[in-house]
Amino acid sequence: MATETQSQPADWPGRYFHIDQVLNTPGPRTDESFLAGDGVKDFLRNKSKILVIGAGGLGCEILANLALTGFKDIHVIDMDTIDISNLNRQFLFRPKDVGKSKAIVAAEFIMKRVPGVKVTPYFGKIQDKDDAYYMQFNLVICGLDSVEARRWMNATLVNLVDPEEPESLKPLIDGGTEGFKGQARVILPTITSCYECSLDMLNKQTAFPICTIANTPRLPEHCIEWASVLEWPRVRGDLKLDTDDPEHIGWLYKIALARANEFKIEGVTWSLTQGVVKNIIPAIASTNAVIAAACCNEAFKIATSSAAYLNNYFMLIGTDGVYSYTFEHEKRDDCPVCGGEALEMTLKPTTTVEELIDILVEKQDIQIKKPSLSTPTKQIYFQAPPQLEEATRPNLEKKVSDLVPPGGEVTVTATTLPFSLSLRISYSE
C-alpha cells in the first residue's frame, strides 16, 4: 500500500495526480452530468459518504482502495473479531490484533497510513442500525461472506426508496469471492435486478431438510446439522451457538460423531464440523484483490459520473486461466423484494406442511431457513416463539390442501430476513 512520509501533509501536491487525470477532463463515455474539474473533486473528497459492509478479505482491499482513490468519509461495519487464520489475506491486520474488532482495527490502520481520510467503524451487526443510519450514505459496498446478510442489506435498501425522494435511492455494489471465482455487481434498488432476483445463481446452499436430518441422515453433514440445529437448542437451551468458540465446535463434533456412528456414517471430522456450521468458503487473496478493485471502480464511477457504471453483473473465473464475463441480470416479477407478484407454486394434493417447508429450504430461488407459514386467516406453522411453535406443530403432518384452497396465498417469513414471500398455491398430480 502506498503511504506518505511524516513530513507530507494529508493533501500534498500530486497525491491524487493519477485520479485527477480522470476527473479534470471528460472522456468518450463520460456521463452528461459530469462536471469536470474542482467541482467533482470536491464532491468526491469532501461531500460523498460511503459505507463498507464487511472488513474481511474483500473489505480490507475495498477500504484501502477507496482511501487511495480519494474517498475521505468512509464508514465500515463488521461484527467479527480477528482470528489468526485471517492474517494470510486480510492485510490490514497483524498478530497483535488477534481477538480485536475487525472494523475498529481496519479503520485505525487506514487512517494511520492515509492521513486525511476518516474511517468510522462500527463493531456490530448491520441489523443494529435503523433506516436513518443508512439514509446518510451516497453509496453502499458489500464485501460479505454471508448470503443472509446480503439479502438483509439488499431488502433494507430497496425498502428505503421513496419515489418522491431521489436521494433515498442508495446504489449497492456487491462483491463476492469463492476460491478463484468472483463477482461484482451494481444494484440500483427498485430499478435494476436486486440481490434476491439472482438467488438461483448461487451454489446450492448447505441447509438440509429437517425431516432428513432428524429421521434419516445419510451424509456426515446431516449429522452435523442435526447436532447444531436440533441437539444444541435442546441440550444447551438458550445458550447462543458461537461458531468461533472451540468448545462449542468440539461439543458439536462429539455429538455429530456419535450420531454418525449410530447410523454407520463415516466422514464426520472436526474440520468438516467447522466447515458446515460456519459455511466456510476457501479464500484466495488475488481473487479478493480483483473483485475489490472492480467494486471500487464502480463506486468511483457512480460517485463522479466520470464513466458509465456496470450494467450490471461482472463475473471472474480464474480456475483455468483468467476469464471474465459481463451481462445484465434482469429483474424477476415475482421477486419478494423488488417485484410485485406472488410466486406461483404447484404442489401435489398430498403434500404436507412439513414437506412444503422442506421444499422452501431446498428451492434454489427461495432459500429460506426456518420458514414460518401463514394465510390471511390462519397460522399454519411458526418456528418461534416456542409457545406458538408448539401450538402450530400439529399442522406439520396435515396436507397443505386441507389448509389452503387452490389459488390461495401463503405468506412465508423468517426471522433472518426483513421481508415476506407470497406464494400462490395450486395443486396437481
Residue 52 CA to residue 60 CA, distance in Å, equals: 10
Closest alpha carbon to 235 in 262, 208, 256: 256
Domain ranges of the chain: 16-203+283-327, 210-278, 343-427
Q: What is the pLDDT of residue 13?
A: 59
Residue 300 CA to residue 65 CA, distance in Å, equals: 10
Secondary structure E strands in 124-219: 139-142, 172-178, 181-187
- Residue with the larger pLDDT of the pair 347 and 416: 347
How far from 374 is each of 182, 366, 378, 421, CA to CA, in Å? Answer: 37, 17, 6, 11
Asked if residues 327 and 335 have their Cβ atoms less than 8 Å apart, the reply is no
Q: How confident is the model at residue 6 (pLDDT cuts 50, 70, 90)?
A: very low
Residue 119 CA to residue 72 CA, distance in Å, equals: 8
Give tens-digit pLDDT for 217-261. 888 889 998 999 899 999 998 888 888 788 999 999 999 999 999
The pLDDT of residue 110 is above 70: yes
Alpha-carbon 118 to chain mean position = 25
Q: Provide mean pLDDT across the span 387-410.
A: 90
Residue 304 CA to residue 35 CA, distance in Å, equals: 8
Class of CATH domain 16-203+283-327: alpha beta
Q: How confident is the model at residue 205 (pLDDT cuts 50, 70, 90)?
A: low
Q: How confident is the model at residue 2 (pLDDT cuts 50, 70, 90)?
A: very low
- Residue with the larger pLDDT of the pair 216 and 302: 302
Q: What is the pLDDT of residue 280?
A: 61
- Residue with the larger pLDDT of the pair 29 and 252: 252
Catalytic residue from among 142, 194, 211, 338:
211
Place of cell 452528461: 32
Q: Determine which of 28-42, 67-81, 207-221 has the lowest per-residue pLDDT on average.
A: 207-221
Catalytic residue check, 211 = yes
Q: Provide mean pLDDT across the span 183-198.
A: 90
Q: Which CATH number fits domain 210-278: 3.20.20.80, 1.10.150.120, 3.40.50.720, 1.10.10.520?
A: 1.10.10.520
Q: How large a percentage of the chain has pLDDT more than 70?
A: 93
Q: Which CATH architecture has domain 343-427?
A: Roll (3.10)
Q: What is the pLDDT of residue 343?
A: 83
- Residue with the larger pLDDT of the pair 211 and 313: 313
User: What grid cell was written down for 257?
Assistant: 460423531
Q: Determine which of 114-123, 204-213, 279-288, 311-320 has the lowest per-residue pLDDT on average.
A: 204-213
